Amino acid sequence: KLGMAYKKDDNFGEWYSEVVVNSEMIEYYDISGCYILRPWAMEIWELLKEFFDAEIKKLKLKPYYFPLFVTENVLQKEKDHIEGFAPEVAWVTKSGKSDLEAPIAIRPTSETVMYPYFSKWIRSHRDLPLRCNQWCNVVRWEFSNPTPFIRSREFLWQEGHTAFATKEEADEEVLQILELYRRIYEEFLAVPVSKGRKSEMEKFAGGLYTTSVEAFVPNTGRGIQGATSHCLGQNFAKMFDITFENEKGAREMVWQNSWAYTTRSIGVMVMTHGDDKGLVLPPRVAPIQVIVIPVPYKDADTTAIKGACESAVYTLNESGFRADLDTRENYSPGWKYSHWEMKGVPLRIEIGPKDLANQQVRVVRRDNGAKVDIPVANLVEEVKALLDDIQANLLKAAKEKRDACIEVIHTWDEFTTALNNKRLILAPWCDEEEVEKDVKARTKGDLGAAKTLCTPFDQPELPEGTLCFASGKPAKKWSFWGRSY
Ligand SMILES: O=C1CCCN[C@@H]1CCCn1cnc2cc(F)c(Cl)cc2c1=O
Ligand SMILES: [Mg+2]
């Protein structure tokens, strides 16, 4: 399929659906909220996983796989943290024609699946730290508008679950993982994110505190949680009796963390960089970084051109780049240019008779369309420089766009104006939950209410006497507010 029917700035929702399908990342499925992830998406997921898994292995995480299914009474074990979630739990009630004795839930997350065994495995301080990670799918039967990658009823994630003897160790790991999430977004997906702490109302109810990396989608003016790293304190240790005998022979409860990022990260990247020609891939997550296309001429030496293409691909692959060539006879070069632009391939190399004669290739950048002729002898170093520049350029452009959306406000009127202008709001807040609830109530509407996105670790100076924009009480911190996904 060539060309886009929708423009990003005219009809963002339709544009997004079209990009993820035309770039061959997603195939729609006949169950609402479920999507087929095709190679162009899975290869990106695998590149992210390769980085993240190697990094957590340096932190001594061990790979596990726990069952998909959890019994009702085990799932209900942690009532207060799941009471709000009950409607989204998917249940298996039959096998074949016969009813199951008791319904079995499909995991929406794995605390209740894992922690009874943490209790069994952890006896002594010598069993700590326990560091468990699994790469799996989870199911949450949500009803709000399903969106490929962003909000689906089944998604892929990694979930880390760790246990330590001391709070200090847990606190440290929360931030180590959060930094890895920042790197996933900024160094791989070229998406700027803000590290911060969730409010008491927005945090994971079963935990002690929640940190997150928050992204922003300028086209919709909505914040979006990129990944989350919780300190659970000793809450689950108490609930599941996860205790250990310390060096002095006394029994203590463990301190736990849990953290995750999901295939949502791919959707955020698509929304951030895509344009009206389709997907734009940051080189570090591009399944193909360079596509080489022969440009045959009527009486040109097509064999020699094809040979030049093959040797360019070979040289680039030998140098560690993901290069491929498109020698399909049944498509014109022009068709191929549009096709690979739609798929977001960072660099296109064209080789025609003139290029052959001059021992050069024509390189075209997907991010800004710039064309440059480079000598075959300099191919590897020039391609490396271009890919590095594209990676940096995409992050820089996205950061500038996100920063241009940030509006610092001080009063309620400024807040509502900024909200209606699809801004990412930075506001002084008294940090009272009642006020957060009040803002939600006062901004309710069909676009959804405003909420706190996070309190950024990087706090601007808060002058003495600054008042909360919503309550007029003394402000305690700057927080990001806005509508969200
Ligand atoms: O965010 C993470 C990181 C990885 C492990 N889990 C935590 C908390 C997950 C919260 N959460 C999120 N969604 C849920 C949906 C549900 F249906 C039920 Cl029963 C529970 C939950 C739930 O606890
Ligand atoms: Mg949810």
Per-residue pLDDT of the chain (485 residues; tens, 9 = 90+): 578 999 999 999 999 999 999 999 999 999 999 999 999 999 999 999 999 999 999 999 999 999 999 999 999 987 777 778 999 999 999 999 999 999 999 999 999 999 999 999 999 999 999 999 999 999 999 999 999 999 999 999 999 999 999 999 999 999 999 999 999 999 999 999 999 999 999 999 999 999 999 999 999 999 999 999 999 999 999 999 999 999 999 999 999 999 999 999 999 999 999 999 999 999 999 999 999 999 998 877 899 999 999 999 999 999 999 999 999 999 999 999 999 999 999 999 999 999 999 999 999 999 999 999 999 999 999 999 999 999 999 999 999 999 999 999 999 999 999 999 999 999 999 999 999 999 999 999 999 999 999 999 999 999 999 999 999 999 999 999 999 99
Classify strands 194-197 and 451-456 as parallel, antiparallel or unpaired.
Answer: antiparallel
Which candidate, 271, 262, 139, 308, places its Cα nearest to that of 192? 271
Residue 14's φ and ψ, nearest 5 degrees, are -70, -40
Vertex 416: Cα angle to 227 and 191 (nearest 5): 25
Sign of CA pseudo-dihedral 296, 381, 48, 484? negative
How many angstroms separate the alpha carbon of residue 242 from the centre of ligand 1? 19
- Position of tokens 């726990």? 66
Classify strands 424-429 and 477-484 as parallel, antiparallel or unpaired.
Answer: antiparallel
- Position of tokens 């191919």? 379
User: What's at 193, amino acid-wise?
Assistant: V
A 10 A CB-CB count for 20 gives 29
How many angstroms separate the alpha carbon of residue 137 from the centre of ligand 1? 13
Which candidate, 109, 77, 116, places its Cα nearest to that of 90? 109
For residue 252, the cross-strand partners are 244
How many angstroms separate the alpha carbon of residue 146 from the centre of ligand 1? 18
Which candidate, 109, 113, 112, places its Cα nearest to that of 88? 109
How many angstroms separate the alpha carbon of residue 290 from the centre of ligand 2? 38
How many angstroms separate the alpha carbon of residue 288 from the centre of ligand 1? 34
Nearest CA to ligand 1 atom 20: 82
100: which 2 tokens?
């199951």
Lining ligand 1 with CB less than 6 A are: 81-82, 85, 88-89, 108-109, 111, 140, 159, 204, 228, 230, 258-260
310: which 2 tokens?
């093959």
For residue 131, the cross-strand partners are 162
Amino acid 82: pLDDT: 79
Distance, C-alpha 192 to centroid of its chain: 11
- Ligand in closest contact with the CA of 228: 1
Helix (H, G, I), strand (E, B) or coil at 473: coil
DSSP track, 350-381: EE-HHHHHTTEEEEEETTT--EEEEEGGGHHH
- Integer Cα distance of 374 and 362 in angstroms: 6
Closest ligand 1 atom, residue 75 Cα: 19
Amino acid 1: pLDDT: 56
How many angstroms separate the alpha carbon of residue 206 from the centre of ligand 2? 14
ipTM over 0.90: yes
- Position of tokens 């293409």? 309
Cα separation values, 384 from 123, 217, 362, 363, 370, Å: 52, 29, 15, 12, 16
Confirm if 212 and 479 have CB atoms less than 8 A apart. Answer: no
Structure letter (DSSP) for residue 464: T
For ligand 1, pick from 109, 112, 133, 240 the residue to mutate: most ligand atoms within 8 Å of CB.
109
Nearest CA to ligand 1 atom 12: 109
Cβ-proximal residues to 8 (8 Å cutoff; 6+ apart), any chain: 15, 219, 274, 275, 276
